[in-house]
């Protein structure tokens, strides 16, 4: 990452300055008086600035925290994209499953339609029952078409997210299955506080601003410069000169520069601490919501499997038999079929919501929660 190259630059000394001087005596012409005056000379020198001890290391540490925050931002984006991929995948698997449900439940609706036609031909039923059964079959075809449209949209979105060409083969999905969650909320919360990139990035910014405060305090102290010159005049008559100069850059405008700089750094430190607290609370809140979603959908799915779905299918079979024996009207039979259809759809929607919530938990906590059937 490019930001990792900054700390070494920040800790390096300023570039040295090389100098060439020429001093004339008695005339503005170059080298005038060089052979008859000990004041005329040609000089070569070098100067080097030295920040006050500790400043370079602090600047490097600040740059490292900046690089760390950028790295956490990258990790946050990576996790968010992965969560979006999984969410789109589970949506795609849901719509594929619903299409299968519509196909299987369409066979049940065909039984309803045949029963209505048989009663109509026998003179015990009426044409309105047949027409209503046909209407429900047409509605089922319309719903199937809408789900096919959603599948096409999700395929396009998934290809975009995984950087595949729109003309690439469609992404296949497997059946949705419940992923067991082996962690408690407390374990997930501890993991998120330790390795969530948004929290880690906010923590890096707190450390960065703390170092910035230390650096602002260092700016109250002077910086140094050292200059060394070698000067040469006529070597036949005069000896060479050697000059060492030590300079001091004194921060005398403290009220206008250093003190406002320190106040700004301290204000930024307070702000970064507040942002860390807000970020930690936000992650904890989102984690609680997703965890509760996983737990509640698990209970709901068990109710569907052990109660609602078997009861709805049993009631439908009983309604078909009762309708065929003229012991129940068509509206009750149709209502029992619609119960089966809507419960089947609601069950698989709950499965998709649970898997999406688990993917979100993985994004927030960083723990490897393996999704069955999810893309690796």
pLDDT digits (tens, 9 = 90+) for 152-189: 888 888 888 888 888 778 777 877 888 888 889 999 99
The Cα–Cα gap between 149 and 166 comes to 16
Asked if 130 contacts 50 with a C-beta cutoff of 8 angstroms, the reply is no
Q: Is residue 150 part of a domain?
A: yes
Q: Is residue 375 part of a domain?
A: no
pLDDT score at 239: 87
Looking at the structure of the chain, the number of domains it has is 1
Q: Is residue 196 part of a domain?
A: yes
| CATH code, domain with 138 | 1.20.1600.10
pLDDT at 114 over 90: no
**pLDDT-based confidence at 228, cuts 50/70/90?**
very high
Residue 223 is classified by DSSP as: E
The Cα–Cα gap between 248 and 224 comes to 5
Q: Is residue 201 part of a domain?
A: yes
Q: Is residue 373 part of a domain?
A: no
Distance of CA 159 to the CA centre of its chain: 19
pLDDT at 87 over 60: yes
pTM higher than 0.85: no
pLDDT at 374 over 70: no
The Cα–Cα gap between 241 and 244 comes to 10
Of 3, 139, 158, the closest CA to residue 84 belongs to 158
Q: Is residue 370 part of a domain?
A: no
pLDDT at 330 over 60: yes
Rg of the chain's alpha carbons, rounded to an integer? Answer: 39
pLDDT digits (tens, 9 = 90+) for 272-321: 999 999 999 999 999 999 999 999 999 999 999 889 999 998 988 888 88
Portion of the chain with pLDDT greater than 70, in percent: 96
Instruction: State the residue range of the domain holding 42.
Output: 2-365
The Cα–Cα gap between 368 and 22 comes to 71
pLDDT digits (tens, 9 = 90+) for 143-160: 889 988 988 888 888 888
Portion of the chain with pLDDT greater than 90, in percent: 40
User: Could you tell me whether strands 41-50 and 241-249 are parallel, antiparallel, or unpaired per DSSP bridges?
Assistant: unpaired
Per-residue CA distances from 372 to 84, 86, 165, 175, 270 (Å): 17, 11, 26, 9, 44
Q: Is residue 372 part of a domain?
A: no
Q: Is residue 374 part of a domain?
A: no
């Amino acid at each position: 990452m490019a930001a990792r190259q900054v700390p070494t630059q920040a800790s390096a000394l300023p570039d040295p300055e090389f100098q060439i001087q020429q001093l004339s005596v008695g005339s503005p012409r170059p080298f005038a008086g060089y052979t008859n005056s000990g004041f005329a000379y040609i000089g070569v020198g070098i100067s080097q600035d030295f920040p006050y001890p500790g400043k370079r290391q602090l600047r490097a540490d600040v740059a490292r925290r900046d690089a760390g925050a950028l790295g956490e931002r990258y990790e946050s984006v990576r996790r968010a994209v992965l969560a979006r991929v999984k969410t789109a995948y589970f949506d795609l698997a849901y719509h594929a499953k619903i299409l299968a449900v519509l196909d299987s439940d369409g066979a049940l609706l065909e039984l309803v339609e045949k029963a209505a036609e048989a009663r109509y031909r026998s003179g015990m039923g009426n044409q309105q029952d047949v027409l209503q059964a046909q209407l429900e079959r047409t509605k089922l075809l319309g719903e199937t078409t809408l789900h096919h449209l959603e599948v096409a949209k999700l395929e396009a979105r998934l290809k975009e997210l995984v950087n595949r060409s729109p003309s690439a083969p469609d992404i296949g999905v497997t059946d949705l299955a419940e992923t067991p969650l082996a962690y408690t909320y407390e374990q997930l919360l501890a993991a998120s506080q330790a390795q969530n990139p948004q929290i880690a990035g906010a923590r890096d910014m707190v450390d960065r601003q703390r170092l910035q405060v230390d650096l602002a305090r260092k700016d109250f102290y002077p910086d140094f410069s050292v200059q060394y010159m070698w000067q040469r005049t006529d070597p036949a008559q005069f000896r060479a000169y050697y000059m060492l100069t030590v300079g001091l850059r004194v921060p005398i405008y403290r009220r206008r520069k250093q003190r406002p700089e320190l106040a700004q750094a301290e204000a930024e430190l307070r702000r970064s601490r507040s942002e860390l607290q807000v970020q930690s609370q936000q992650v904890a809140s989102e984690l609680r919501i997703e965890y509760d979603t996983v737990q509640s959908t698990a209970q709901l799915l068990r109710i569907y499997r052990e109660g609602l779905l078997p009861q709805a299918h049993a009631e439908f079979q009983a309604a078909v038999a009762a309708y065929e024996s003229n012991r129940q009207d068509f509206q009750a039979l149709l209502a029992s079929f619609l119960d089966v259809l809507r419960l089947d759809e609601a069950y698989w929607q709950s499965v998709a919501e649970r898997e999406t919530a688990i993917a979100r938990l993985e994004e927030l906590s960083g723990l490897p929660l393996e999704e069955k059937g999810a893309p690796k």
